[in-house]
Amino acid sequence: MLRSFLTARAVAFAGLFAVLAFGPPAAAKDDDCILDNCADRLPPKPQAEKAQPAPEARTDAARSDGGFRSGAPAKDFDFYVLALSWSPGFCDSVEGSHDQCEPGKGLGFVVHGLWPQYERGFPSDCAGPRSPSRIALERAEGLFPDARLARYEWRKHGTCSGKSPSDYFGDVARAREAVTIPSLFVRPTREQSFTPIDVERAFYDANPRLRPGMMAVSCRRNVFEGVRICLSKDLREFRACPDVVQHGCRQREITAPAPL
């Protein structure tokens, strides 16, 4: 009997020690889960409302795609690109008939266009008169090689300037007057070969306010086609244009055919 009493006391003491050491056993719950086994029973987390960009932010995002925006609002651009074509190179690579490519024209650099530009990409075909008047086209004479190109450039690029056709062609004249053509390209009598850097340096020397990062050379394969020079929106100064420069000619050496 004494042995039974001592055994019972030992068992009781062991139970008391377990309670003191580890605490009482946790009660089982019906909704206990293990990781994903009951994920469908957990209350859903509140979804944060996706922030909508402000209208200006959406415009900037559209500008950053590096392409073009057809039908963009007029005046909504950052700077201008004056595109000057080297006619012999253009005529060497273009398909079809163009007035500027007729033998005997002897054209060197001509205005291809004055393009409103974003920091990345450009607008095109904005709202506005689709065809410039005869009076407006008179302001384009002597700038573009022919009236057909002047009309096309107005429709695709000029409409995005926010100006009338007459005022836009006036700006084309101002931009062209701001650029001095290097002597290297004044009535050459034979084909010339050089690097794109050679062309840029010639323009920097002829235009002291024009600096690296403000222009690009354009070519098709290894044929020199022209230059693209960046100007501020008010056309008062040259300005940097990294995206335009990035898309410039990457040939090691290019050839400039002589005027026809």
Mind telling me the catalytic residues?
Answer: 112, 153, 157
Contact 82/181 with Cβ under 8 angstroms?
no
**β-bridge partners, 84:** 111, 227
